[in-house]
Structure formats: C-alpha cells, structure tokens
Structure 1
Amino acid sequence: MAAAKPVSRWRKRSLSRRLVVVAAVWSVLALAVAGFILVSLYRTASERAFDAQLEVYAKTILSEMLPDAASTDVPRAQQTQPAIQAPKGVIEPRFSLPLSGWYWTVRSGETGRVLFASESLVGDPLSVGDMAGEDTQSAFGVGPGGEEVRIRQEKVRFGNASYIIAVAARTAGFRADLAQFTRMASLTLAVIGAGLVGAVFLQVRVGLKPLVRLQASLAAVRRGDEDAIDEDLPVEIAPLAVELNALIHSNREIVERARTHVGNLAHGLKTPLSVISNEARAAQGPLADKVSEQAAIMSTQIQHHLERARMAAQRRVIGVSCDVEPVLSRLCRAMGKIYQGRGIELEQVVPAGLRFRGEQQDLEELSGNLIDNACKWAKGRVSVTLRPLTSSGVGRELFELVVEDDGPGLSEEERREAVKRGKRLDETVPGTGLGLSIVADLAALYGGRLDLDRSKMGGLKASLVLPAI
C-alpha cells in the first residue's frame, strides 16, 4: 500500500476559517439583499411622495383652469362643455422662473396641441410620452435644459372635450436624497456586517477552545507527560476523549502482552539452544561442529528477530518519550572511560531540549551501538553531534544524530555490506555483527533511517534520523 502523501501547511484546512468564511459570505449576501430591498422601498416611497406633490399641483392647475366645473357636483363626464381659462393663480413661484426645473402644460386630449404652459418653459416644449389610454401616468423624462425630470400626466374629461395636464419637476434633489440614503444604508449595513463577522469570529474562537484543550491534552499524552486525556470537556466532545483514553489503554495492554510473549519465546528457545550448544561442544567430530555452528546461527537469528519484534511493539506505544541530551551525555562519558586506555578523544555537540518519541532503553541501544562502533575503529577522535531537522518535509518532527570517527572508514560497497544482518567486515574486532544492522532495522521501525557516508575526519560518518517531539 502506498504511503499517504504529506499535506503541506498551506493546504491544511481550518475549521475556524471555514466557519468564519461561511458566516461572512452569508452575512454579506443577506445584508446586500437587505440593502437592495431597503433602497428599493425608499425609492418607491420617494417617487410616490414626489408624484403626490405633482398631483396636488395638477389639481390646482385644473381648479384655476376650470373654476366653475371644479365646483359643481355633477360628474365631469356628464357636464356640458365649460369655458376654460388660463390659470392665473400663483401655484408655485418656481413655475414662473425661466428654466427653474418646475414646468406644467395643458394640452388638448384630442389634438395634443398645447393650450397653456408655464412661464418657466420660456417657449421650449416639454417632452411627454403617450398615455396609451391611461388616465394618469408618472414617468421620468428629459426637461427643456436636458436635465432629468419627473413627469405626471392626468387626463380629465368634460362632456365631449378632454384635456391632459402635465406637471414636471427636476429630479436632482430626489436623486441626491436617494444617493445619500443609499450611502447611509450601505455604511450602516457594512458596520452591522463587520460586527456580525467579528461576533462570529469570537464565537468560533470561544466555541472551539475545548478542541484546543483536547489537542493539548493529547499532545501531553503523546509526549509522556500525562497518562490519559483530560475528560473534563463539554458534553459534545467528552465522549471523544473517553474513546481516545480507551484506545490508549487498549494499545498499552496489547504492547504488554506482546512483551510477555516475546520474553516467553526468548526464554523457551534460549534454554534448548544452550543445551544443544553445550552437548555439541562436549562431543567431537564433524557432526558436533556443524550442530554447534548452526546453533550459534540460530541464536543470532533469534536475538535479531526478537529484538525487532520488541522494538516494533515499542514504537506503537502512545505517550512514550525521553530527553535525548542526558542519554547521549551519559553514553559519551561511559565510552570515554571504556576507551580511555586507547586515548580516544570524544567530542560532543549535544544541545538540550530535544525529546525522542520512544523509550529511553531503545535510544540508548541505537546511539550506543553507533558510538561504540566509532570508538572501536577510531584512531584518536570521535565526534557526536545532535541537531533538529526543522525542514523534514514529512509532516512531523525529526532529529539527526551524527557520529564520526577518524578511523580507516569504509568504501561504498563496504558501507552497503555493513548494515546487512550478521555481516562482519573484520573478524579481528570482537562482536556479533548485529550492531549496525540492528540500528538500521530499528531506526526503520521508528520511521527513521541510518545513513553511512565518508567523514571529513577521514573515517566513517553514521547519520541516524529518529522521530522527535
């Protein structure tokens, strides 16, 4: 099965960001629709108020043009043809000012000829539309000065005659009021929208705090600082903490059972093998030598595979970790004393603060094998360097332990052979041949690796990469 590809940081999804973005988009859309409706209602109300004012002027013009007809109780359609006269009263002073923006006309309903017009038109025509059989009509048009006007037309009938009274007014003030209302409404809704988004952001941050606590508690368990996750959480996520604790407990039980089985297997095999080896050594002949040889190979194989099984179980334990610096410092002091007679100078650059995601015993075995191997082959200097890997590119924290010596080193082919199980490049140096192979295998089980290369000091450079916290 192919390994899952690591997700880069910029592609990681954020639940907080998703909630805030959804709320922001919804708020913007809802407030935009509300703003559009508010402006439309204000425009409609303003037009009605404008038309109502124009209607008053039209009725005033009608009352002055037909004073006798306007005062009778007989319906206009049943009245005889009255005598009309030019409106003489002061309807609105602006109707008398040239091109003031307020205009009126009276036209014949049959011929369309202009009978009377306001002085403000100064002889220019007032462009009006066809009423298309309607008695009243309100619309926007163009005035004498090329400016936009609101025109209201009303058709009145007296007997066989009909007249069309048109009153128009400049819309500059109307448009200015509408624009101001639109700006104020937009500003108000924008402030409300920003407040809503801010409130949602705070709500999300406060609402997701228990998840942050759960993450911190789980991280503490993974580091080994706590034995179990804190279950004092809201009712919605408390069952998740309970299930995680049950999973951790079950994992630990499985590991303990695996340890017991590994120990029992080692004990059950080592005793018969020891008996066979002793009997073979006591006997003489080719058969005894062959049995002794194969028993030694079996013992080596059992040791190797039992060690791998133990480590495979160990690396799956949740909440196991240890500080790296104390372990390496202790090993360096011990190796310095062991190889003091050869005058080995052991240099170390081991910063504090790094933690190994695994058991201390395993770190001691992994690093101890490398340091011991370097001291065996070194002429006089061994260097131990520890550093974090900040740009691992694998989505998790790692650290690197580099052990170098000034010994004879290994060729490229010898470096490949050195990590093979039971392979010894020099029989004069004591050992089983399992050191580097076990380090390579166990590092792989932890998700790390062992790399061998040529050191600048002249000998071998062993780079061990392991998971960190």
Structure 2
Amino acid sequence: MQSLRRRAILGGIVWAGIAILLGGIALYYVLDGQVQRRFDDGLSDRYIQVVAALGNSSGDAELLESYLTDPLYQRPYSGRYWQIRGPDESTIVSRSLFDVLLPVAEPLSTDPETWTVQGPDGPMRGIGGLVRLEDGTNWSVSVAESLASITSERSQIRRSLLTTFALIGVLGIAATVVQTSLVLSPLNRLRQEVTRRWDRGEALEPADYPEEVAPLVSDIRALLDRNREMVERGRRQAADLAHALKTPAAILRNELDALAQSGMDVADAQTALTRVDAQLMRSLARIRAATSGADALVQTDLLNSANRMARLFRTGADGMARQFEIDVPADLRIRMDQQDLEEILGNTVENAFKWSRRTVRLTARPMPDGVELRIDDDGPGIPEESRREALRSGGRLDVSMPGTGLGLAIVSDLVAAYGGTLDLEASDLFGGLRVRIGVPAQFSPGG
C-alpha cells in the first residue's frame, strides 16, 4: 500500500476501532457493576424494611403484612419475595411466593449475606440474615428478587452501547478522513504546484508550506531548477548538433550530385546518405520531443497547422493530381508543440500522398480525454499482419517507392513522447490506410 492517505486513514480506523472496542468493554463492565450494585442496594433496603416490620409486629403475620405494602409482594410470582422463619420453625411468607418457599439455607449469622438461587420464576438473587428481637427470640429473614429485571437492563445497556459506539465509530472514521485530508492537503497542493510551476517556469516557495513540508519543497525546487537547466542544455545541444550535421551532409550530397553528373554510379552512396539523413532527423526529433513541452501545457491551433500542410502538399507535383480534404473544427487546440505537430502531420500526409490514388483526408475530433487525428487515403492500404513492420525503424514494405521507411517510425516516437497512441487501420472511408493518432489532454510522466 503506497498511498499515504489510504495508509493514514486505515491506520486511524484500526486504532480508533481498537480504542472504541476497549472503551466499550470497559464502559460496559463499569455500567454493569453499577447495575449490580444498585440491585444489591435495593435488596438491602427491602431487607431492612422487612426487619423493621418484623420488629414492629413482633412476628404477627397479619400485622407484618400491613407494614409491607409493596404491591409486588401481593401478586403471585411477581419476582419480589420475602420469607421469615420464627424460633418455633413456623414460616411467614409474602403472598407473592404463593405455595412455595425460598430454597435458601437458614442464615447462621446476624450479618446479612447475599446469594443466588433458582426461584419460582427463574434465577433470583437474595439477601438473608439472623435477626434477634428485643424479647431474645431469633428470626431468620430472607428477601429475594428475580434477576429478570437486571438481565433486561443489561441487555438494554448493551444495545445502547452498541448504538452509541457505532455512531462514535462512524463519526471517528469521518473525522479521520477529514483530518487526514487536511494534514495531507499541503502534499496534494505541492503535487499540483510542481506541475503548474514547471509548466510556467516559476519557482516553488518553501515559505508557502508548513514547516514540516518546507525542507521537501526546497529540495524539489532545487531539483526543478536543475531539470530546467538540463532541458535547456539538451535543447541547445540538439539545435547545435542539427546545425553541425546539416552542413557536412549538404556538402556530401552536392559532391555526390557532381560525381553523378560526371557519369559515376553513386546511387548506393546517395541512398546511404539519404538514410543517414533520415536517421539523423529521427534522432533529432526524439531529442527535441524529449526536451520540449511534451509534458507541459503547450497548446497548438490544429486547423492552422493543417492548413499549412495543405498549402505545402497542394503546391507540390503530387498534390496537383490528388485531392487533400481537411475536416478540422475551428479553434480546436491540441496539447503539442507546433513543430512536433507539423512533423507528425507532414510525415503521415506525405506517406498518404505517396500511396494514395486520388484522395487524402485529414480529420480531427475532440475527445473526452484529448484529441484524435485520422489520416485516410484511397491507396492499397497495409495488410494487418504487416502493420507492425511498417512502424519499425526502416521497415519498408515496398521498395519500389522512394523513401527511407522512417516516416511512420518518427511519427510513432513523437506521439509516444506526448503520451499518445498511434494505430494503423483499414480506412472505412476510402478503403486504403487509416492512421489514427490519439493525444491525451493531460500527460502523466509515470504512465
């Protein structure tokens, strides 16, 4: 997992989940203990009430009941009971016990003790002790209550805690996402600023970022400055190299032309020199594309360049016998340097003119993710199994036509430098070859 955002969010969720789980368990046991203590305190209070009633009534059953007026003591199996055993082994019970006795052992101590047994309506908890009245008689007093109420209360506590902590968990996850986004926002802004400022030739300002990110910004600024210097140096060297090679090549071509006019056979040398010129053109085009605005926000008017190509080819010898159609929307701009665009158009249109019978069409359309170019001709086309060979450097499928076989290879290199695609297809307009070129609206150096 390489994303810092996903890592931070997932880590926050994991730790928040652990904290919520541990906190929920601890809180449940605290609340459960409070419920248990409250239940036991209620038992103790009722035990004291029964003991007081016993003392006031001196063991008289009818008088005893008049002191214990809780309605639950009157309803059979209500879940709340009391039981008194006298010194003569006689037993007085609440009407709620109906026809049963509490299954508890006789207390042996005057200190009340709690116990849990199975009662007439399920598990119950009670308290009992030995009570000595003023006349010296000993009485066994027991008070019990069903655990159904405490079980229900515990279930309600669990449900409430689950609902509460689920809500806390959702809010915690949302807070984690928001906090992570806020913390990482300077890095996101830095990523956007690197591309924008590189395109505009501007420098990054470390003071515009938090102090934790400022050292990274300083390093990136130094790296951008170094890269700009390297790109500029590469452009200068490419231009110098092109200038340095053109002159000797022109001299060699003039010498070969002179030798040819004197009757010498220099056809092989002229072909070799032509291929050397083409290879140099391809290499220089690749260098220029690599050091140009291939990954910048360069925009070129496509119709203007297409019209330039039309004027060039229509005035040529081949252009007089062929029809060159242009279907390009006005104001359509393509993310490509003008020189690179015109070299792409020049090579593809020249190739189409070379093989077409009468018609060549250049079509351009805006696409959701960029611009698509199509160059169609009515020539013989290229069989599907031979199209890959046509894109290979020097891949000439027919040596009867003049050329070096590098035109489409140069186009492929330039299109790839802009993150685009090049495909050779059968033309559904004229039946010949279609060259389809796609140039994305945005360039991703990593992809």
> Alignment partner of 2:228: what SS?
helix
Q: 1:403 matched to which residue of 2? A: 375
Determine if contact 1:335/1:372 at 8 Å carries over to the other structure. Answer: no
Q: 1:304 matched to which residue of 2? A: 279
2:80 to 82, 102, 106: 102
Matched-pair identity in %? 30
1:341 to 316, 320, 323: 320
Q: 1:373 matched to which residue of 2? A: 351
Equivalent AA in structure 1 for residue 289 of structure 2: Q
Structure 1 residues 153 and 436, CA gap change in structure 2 (3 angstroms): same
1:323 to 274, 280, 300: 300
> Alignment partner of 2:129: what SS?
strand
Q: 1:152 matched to which residue of 2? A: 127
Determine if contact 2:113/2:127 at 8 Å carries over to the other structure. Answer: yes
- 5+ residue gaps, structure 2: 443-447
Tell me the number of residue pairs that the alignment of Structure 1 and Structure 2 aligns.
429
Q: Distance in 2 between matches of 1:260 and 1:459?
A: 41
Determine if contact 1:374/1:404 at 8 Å carries over to the other structure. Answer: yes
Alpha-carbon offset, residue 22 of structure 1: 4.0
Q: 1:452 matched to which residue of 2? A: 424
Determine if contact 1:226/1:319 at 8 Å carries over to the other structure. Answer: no
Q: Distance in 2 between matches of 1:323 and 1:131?
A: 102
Structure 1 residues 326 and 141, CA gap change in structure 2 (3 angstroms): farther
Structure 1 residues 33 and 453, CA gap change in structure 2 (3 angstroms): closer
> Alignment partner of 1:93: what SS?
coil
Q: Distance in 1 between matches of 2:180 and 2:39?
A: 48
Q: Distance in 2 between matches of 1:384 and 1:16?
A: 46
Alpha-carbon offset, residue 365 of structure 1: 0.3
Residues 36-435 of structure 1 mapped to structure 2, 5 A cutoff:
36-59=25-48, 61-62=50-51, 85=59, 88-89=63-64, 90-94=66-70, 97-99=74-76, 100-106=78-84, 115-128=91-104, 136-144=112-120, 146-154=121-129, 164-175=140-151, 177-180=153-156, 184=160, 186-221=162-197, 224-225=199-200, 227-229=202-204, 231=206, 232-279=208-255, 281-282=257-258, 289-290=265-266, 293-294=268-269, 297-298=272-273, 300-305=275-280, 307-312=282-287, 314-315=289-290, 318-319=295-296, 321-323=298-300, 325-326=302-303, 328-335=305-312, 337-338=314-315, 341-342=320-321, 344-350=323-329, 355-356=334-335, 358-387=336-365, 399-411=371-383, 418-419=390-391, 420-421=393-394, 423=396, 425=398, 433-435=405-407
Structure 1 residues 186 and 467, CA gap change in structure 2 (3 angstroms): closer
For normalisation by structure 2, the TM-score amounts to 0.75
Q: Deviation string for 1:422-466 (max 9, x for gaps)?
A: 84846566x555423422344455555543333220222222344
Alpha-carbon offset, residue 168 of structure 1: 0.6
> Alignment partner of 2:423: what SS?
strand
Q: Deviation string for 1:366-416 (max 9, x for gaps)?
A: 1221123323443443222335676xxxxxx66542200123434567756
Equivalent AA in structure 2 for residue 103 of structure 1: Y
Q: Distance in 2 between matches of 1:254 and 1:236?
A: 29
Q: Distance in 1 between matches of 2:34 and 2:300?
A: 76
